[in-house]
Amino acid sequence: MRIGILGGGQLGWMTVLEGKKFGFEFFILDKTKTSPACRVADGCFDYEEVDEFVRLCDVVTYEFEHISDEILENVSHLTLPSVGVLKLKKSKVEEKLFLKRRGYPVPNFVVAFGEDLESAVAMFNFPVVVKSESLGYDGKGQYLIKEDLGKLKTIKMNHRERERFLVEEFVDFDFEFSIIGVRNSKGEIKLYPPTINYHEEGILIYNKTTNLNFSLAEEIVKSLMEELNIVGLLCVEFFHAKDGRILINEMAPRTHNTGHWTLDGCYTSQFENLVRAISGLPLGSTKLKSPSGMINIIGKSYEEIDIRRILSMEGTKLYWYGKEKRYRRKMGHINVVGDNQEDVDKKLDYLNDVLFGAIKC
């Protein structure tokens, strides 16, 4: 089986490493040939070489959303999950409108062009969250408006003239959580255990498994996978609001940062299950092997992390992506397993301390 991946970042890197166990070949399409996945794949192609890439692949999947429609046209006949789902995800506006239309619970929002931002924001109590329609991830293109309407001017200047925005209520939440599901072409679905996720300024810092029960959210994920006819993975991120509402923040039809821990904490990782689903193999068990957690290493070079201290803790695994250091860039992560959730919490506390100076987990 020859599998193509659109995007060569860390998600692609881990997919290749996991998928190679089956003897499959992997090809990457990205704007550069120096990405993490390119170092471990069987071939790497830039956007000019899309025809050659397509000729080599039996099936194509993706690890990020920001791919031009032109490229998507070339690969759509081979792509799983479908390009239709990817296109829905490319636009934060279309994604939210879809969810709302189909009756899924989402925060209150309106859609506005730049020139209408003031009146749209005025429809909510402060603070208000403004998100650009496209190219937003890890908190990029997202703005918190706390009575400072002057900020709207900057937002307009930073974006295209006819860009649309989501103007959303600020959800006062107890915590955020996510659930990843895998579905094959026969319609079989397996869900991973939910995780509680901690973000700062829009970027995931760490997450961990939980003993809490999220049966309503699990039904939502299953229903979305069926409605979108997903063959592959779907990650859905939720808010657990203080007023008791369970609201969808966003979804991603691909491997996800909140599922990195499955490499060590589950019978089958999210990466392996993606490969199984799109190549027609039986889905692997998503059962928990042991309580788990994950912490992202953000904006640090290899020299700036204390690998000896990290690895001296029992049950830690380091994954280093080999990317050039940049501010706020995800450079690697550490997976943690423990005897129980308390043990995982303690280990995450220790790692937070080693990496960033104590943040309580």
Q: Does residue number 250 form part of the binding site for ligand AMP (CB under 6 A)?
A: yes
* Nearer Cβ to ligand AMP (147/304): 147
What CA–CA distance (Å, rounded) separates 98 from 343?
Answer: 40
Cα of 240 vs its chain's centroid, Å: 18
Residue 81: cis peptide before it, omega within 30 degrees of 0: yes
Stretch that binds ligand AMP, among 131-139, 177-185, 207-215, 339-347 (CB under 6 A): 131-139
Print the binding letters for residues 87-126 with ligand AMP: x by CB under 6 A, - otherwise. Answer: --------------------x-------------------
Q: Which residues are registered as beta bridge partners of 308?
A: none
Q: Which residues are registered as beta bridge partners of 204?
A: 199
Q: Does residue number 202 form part of the binding site for ligand AMP (CB under 6 A)?
A: yes
* Nearer Cβ to ligand AMP (207/316): 207
User: Tokens at residue 282, please?
Assistant: 């039986």
What CA–CA distance (Å, rounded) separates 254 from 103?
Answer: 23
Q: Does residue number 248 form part of the binding site for ligand AMP (CB under 6 A)?
A: no
Q: Does residue number 134 form part of the binding site for ligand AMP (CB under 6 A)?
A: no
Least Å distance between CB 243 and ligand AMP?
13
Instruction: Please give the size of the binding site for ligand AMP, defined by CB under 6 A.
Output: 14
Least Å distance between CB 129 and ligand AMP?
4
What CA–CA distance (Å, rounded) separates 26 from 248?
Answer: 33
CA atoms within 13 A on the CB side of 327: 1
What CA–CA distance (Å, rounded) separates 79 from 250?
Answer: 21
User: In which residue are the tokens 């166990």 written?
Assistant: 21
Q: Does residue number 175 form part of the binding site for ligand AMP (CB under 6 A)?
A: no
Q: Which helix (H) or strand (E) holds 355?
A: helix 341-356
* Nearer Cβ to ligand AMP (198/320): 198
Least Å distance between CB 145 and ligand AMP?
11
Q: What are the distances in angstroms from CA 140 to CA 132, 135, 143, 269? A: 9, 8, 8, 28
* Nearer Cβ to ligand AMP (133/264): 133
* Nearer Cβ to ligand AMP (76/142): 142
Least Å distance between CB 319 and ligand AMP?
22
User: Tokens at residue 316, please?
Assistant: 């830690």
- Contact positions vs ligand AMP (CB under 6 A): 107, 129, 131, 136, 139, 142, 168, 170-171, 176, 199, 202, 249-250
